[in-house]
Amino acid sequence: MPLGELYDPSRGYLVNDTLIIEAEVLVRKIVDYWNYDSKKETGYVGLKNQGATCYMNSLLQTLYHIPYFKKAVYHMPTTENDMPSGSIPLALQSLFYKLQYSDTSVATKELTKSFGWDTYDSFMQHDVQELNRVLCEKLEDKMKGTVVEGTIQKLFEGHHMNYIECINVDYKSTRKESFYDLQLDVKGCRDVYASFDKYVEVERLEGDNKYHAEQYGLQVSGN
């Protein structure tokens, strides 16, 4: 609005030589990030980034918030001679304990050392899905013969049926497969349901990709 209109009596802003202005003011809370207390504000603390370990921190926070997984980790046996930097179970127990009771962000160096990583590895991006597989495999191995044996399988294993049907001959093939994780497309998918729809959509096997249907030989098929 032009400043001159404020002083125009016909506009109603100037009453008895008093300028009246009504305005809605949006009040924003200013966060002091240097003195931000995550524990006080949220009840949780974060993990320190060693250089390029944000992907690992996201995975660790996810696993920490699975109660049964955390309970199983706490029940993994260790000895008084174990050192966190040389024992994945003890390093993970220590990390989860600190996430639960520490008032400040928690370091992950002991855990990465237990992986056999050096400083160079901490500054290298790794695939989070691959890290999850490796970590679960190591934990699954360490849990064998203990009270928490089979925990990883119970928590994360799923099954799907691989179904193939030939187009031109009467031949079908089914195979049950297990998985700990699924690779879902996100590009062009509005939500996770669309990603699942894309995951299970029919794939036509033809050309160089024809399916070998035993006595029928190579056949055009739907997978």
Q: Are strands 218-219 and 158-166 parallel, antiparallel or unpaired?
A: unpaired
Q: Establish if 133 belongs to a structural domain.
A: yes
Q: Is 55 helix (H, G, I), strand (E, B) or coil?
A: helix
Domain boundary among 155, 186, 212: 155
Q: How much is the pLDDT for 146? A: 92
Residue 29: pLDDT band (50, 70, 90) is low
Percent of the chain with pLDDT over 70: 87
Tokens 């029928």 sit on residue:
216
Q: How much is the pLDDT for 173? A: 84
Residue-number span of the structural domain to which 215 is assigned: 157-222
Residue 31 has pLDDT above 80, yes or no: no
Q: Establish if 24 belongs to a structural domain.
A: no
Q: How much is the pLDDT for 85? A: 80
Please name the residues in contact with 44: beta carbons below 8 A apart, sequence gap of 6 or more. Answer: 38, 99
Residue 183: pLDDT band (50, 70, 90) is confident
User: In terms of pLDDT, which residue wins out, 124 or 134?
Assistant: 134
Q: How much is the pLDDT for 196? A: 92
∠ CA(53), CA(58), CA(60), 5° rounding?
A: 95
Statement to judge: residues 49 and 59 lie in one domain:
yes
- Find how far residue 216's CA is from the centre of its chain: 44
Q: Are strands 14-15 and 158-166 parallel, antiparallel or unpaired?
A: unpaired
Q: How much is the pLDDT for 9? A: 66
Sheet with 204-205, edge to edge strand ranges: 172-179, 158-166, 221-222, 204-205
Q: How much is the pLDDT for 20? A: 67
Backbone angles phi, psi at 221, to 5 degrees: -140, 170
Q: How much is the pLDDT for 13? A: 65
Q: How many domains, the chain?
A: 2
